[in-house]
Amino acid sequence: MSNQTAQNEQKGMIPTNYGALGTLVTVFFFWGFIAAGNSIFIPFCKHFFKLDQFQSQLIDFAFYTAYYIGALILFAYGSFGGKDLVGKWGYKKSIVYGLLFSALGAAAMIIAVNANTFAGMLFGLFIVALGFSLQQTAAQPFAISLGDPSTGTSRVNLGGGINSFGTTIGPVVVALALFGTTAAVTDKDIESLSLSKVILLYTAVGGLFISAAALFHFAKKVPSGVMEEETEKADKALYTLMIITGLLILFFVPVFNSYTVDLTGASEQAIKDMNNYRLGWLLGALAVVVFGLIFANMRAQKKPEGWGAMKYPQLVLGMLAIFVYVGVEVAIGSNLGELLKLDEFGGKQASESTPYIAMYWGSLMIGRWAGAISAFNMSKNTKMILQVIVPLVAFGIILGVNIAFKYNMEPLYFYFVCVLIQIAAFFISNDKPARTLMIFGFLGVIAMIIGTQASGVVGTYALLSGGLCCSIMWPCIFSLSIAGLGKYTTQGSAFLIMMILGGGIIPPIQGKLADVIGIQQSYWIPVACFAYLAFFAIAVAGILRKQGVNFENVSSSGGH
């Protein structure tokens, strides 16, 4: 027994289960790796299957809609059965089942690739993400249970940092797996590539899922995490969410039916009519979510019984904020490859955009590593020094990883100026969640407006910096949304996880708008998203102030 372990036991501290924690953080890595890798998978599928920009964004739709469906199923089970399914299984088994379910999704991907069907690949990605939904519901409390509760935040932050590392190298590894080279690959080259490379990629991914599940299952010292507490029922909230889901299906059916329409050789007017048709139904789906949640909260304010956490305005506005945040984070990265093909942005081929996409997702890592500093006990001066050093070190790591894979990173060297702006924003925000969200929301608005108007290095850097703005938003939105919920906190957290659905709706809307007005001008969608996030920061501060909640002291460390 080490001296440190002995001291911890004397203090009554629970020693951290590092073996289980090491396995757990691989799950965080998978989430980031697969999600960011989709940014490379999208342009690959677009040219291989000859899709338009909207159709290519169905990859994000399938992936992120699964989070919503998975969380809704778990909530419905708890509401009808009175028991939390994850609590009933325990964190350990829930993680194992989630990994095995994702492995089934990888197998479905392989079958679909063999059949050369894009729709089947979407189904496979949906199953992979459905497993992720179960894993994510269990992973955070599981990380806390693997040691002393007082150091639980540090373990969650470690998982967030590993997740961000996955988003950084995901695009690079997926690009190499698909293209087999870091050299420029033309659209014609993509169309002639063999789908066997996708089979190899998802065979490896499926094998990793199964291996991680086996490690969890056979780890005897890993706590089961079983909880038998009764869940707080919210029948009205459940019925409302089910109605919203039904309406979303009605709005998406026409869009998916139009997916199979072959517009090859069609007139310009026919293409325009189809674009407007799809965009109209997509905007209708967005309206269903926005007005459905607002209506729910209005009803809950008049008669709160049966609404559970939805009776709190900060939660409902926060659900919309998470919806918008995940949507804008995914939309910027997923449409970036198409934007970089424009002559004014360098006319880059799909494989040449890889380091830029990696830098975008890496920007989230930069901010999350900086945000995680506040979770550790250290002097004020040490924190100030680290808030400058850590983001720059993270930036260097992103450059180093890409250079190691022989990508030309010289055009991105001066991106450190954007990192310095983020560092300054961190100091101004002073680790206050409402202030942090407001500042980064306004910076996002400014950056996206510049991206819609400028070109070349300035326009590229502005759009890439959207990742820096998004990086710290998840914990701020999450902590502000559940502040003051009391016994409804767990239920409110589940509602927020459902709103990852935004990653499945907003990117296709931007993709369809890109088909109508052009890819660069479609970035007005992120402008609107960041504007709402800044509004939420201001509005929620007033709401919590009226409730007597000290929102300035709400913890905002962590990351998604």
Q: Compute CA 119 distance to the chain's CA centroid, rounded to the nearest angstrom.
A: 22
Q: How confident is the model at residue 8 (pLDDT cuts 50, 70, 90)?
A: very low
CA-based torsion, 176, 410, 43, 283: positive or negative: positive
Q: What is the pLDDT of residue 13?
A: 55
* Those residues with Cβ within 8 angstroms of residue 284's Cβ, 6 or more apart along the chain or in another chain: 251
Residues 164-191 have pLDDT tens digits of 788 778 877 887 877 776 555 566 666 6
Q: Compute CA 264 distance to the chain's CA centroid, rounded to the nearest angstrom.
A: 34
CA separation for the pair 25, 33 (Å, rounded): 12
The pair of structure tokens assigned to 141 is 């409390």
The pair of structure tokens assigned to 62 is 């399938």
Q: How confident is the model at residue 3 (pLDDT cuts 50, 70, 90)?
A: very low
Q: Which of 6-20, 50-64, 462-476 has the lowest mean pLDDT?
A: 6-20
Nearest to 429 by CA among 417, 443, 441, 439: 439
Q: What is the pLDDT of residue 11?
A: 46
Q: How far is CA 141 from CA 76, 123, 234, in A?
A: 20, 29, 22
CA separation for the pair 228, 82 (Å, rounded): 10
Residues 89-124 have pLDDT tens digits of 888 888 899 999 999 999 999 999 888 888 899 999
Q: How far is CA 240 from CA 235, 288, 302, 522, in A?
A: 9, 11, 16, 31
Task: Work out the burial of residue 220: count CB atoms within 10 Å of its CB; fewer than 13 is exposed, 13-18 middle, 19 or more buried.
Answer: exposed
Q: What is the pLDDT of residue 243?
A: 93
CA-based torsion, 46, 470, 326, 32: positive or negative: positive
**Of residues 149 and 315, more confidently modeled:** 315
**Of residues 423 and 160, more confidently modeled:** 423
pLDDT at 348 over 70: yes
Q: Which of 6-20, 128-142, 365-379, 470-484 has the lowest mean pLDDT?
A: 6-20
Predicted model pTM: 0.82
The pair of structure tokens assigned to 530 is 């960041």
Residues 397-418 have pLDDT tens digits of 999 988 988 888 999 999 999 9
Q: How far is CA 82 from CA 136, 230, 256, 365, 487, in A?
A: 21, 6, 36, 38, 15
Residues 72-93 have pLDDT tens digits of 888 888 777 667 777 788 888 8
Q: What is the pLDDT of residue 14?
A: 62
pLDDT at 252 over 80: yes
CA separation for the pair 125, 121 (Å, rounded): 6
Average pLDDT over residues 473-502: 84
pLDDT at 158 over 90: no
Average pLDDT over residues 286-294: 93
Q: What is the pLDDT of residue 247?
A: 93
Enumerate long-range contacts of 387-392, CB under 8 Å, 24 or more apart: 387/423, 387/426, 387/427, 388/423, 391/366, 391/367, 391/419, 391/422, 391/423, 392/416, 392/419
| Percent over 70 (pLDDT), the chain | 85
Helix (H) or strand (E) holding 491: helix 489-498
Average pLDDT, the chain: 83
CA separation for the pair 355, 140 (Å, rounded): 30
Average pLDDT over residues 367-396: 84
State the virtual CA torsion across 308, 500, 243, 120 in degrees, nearest 10: -150
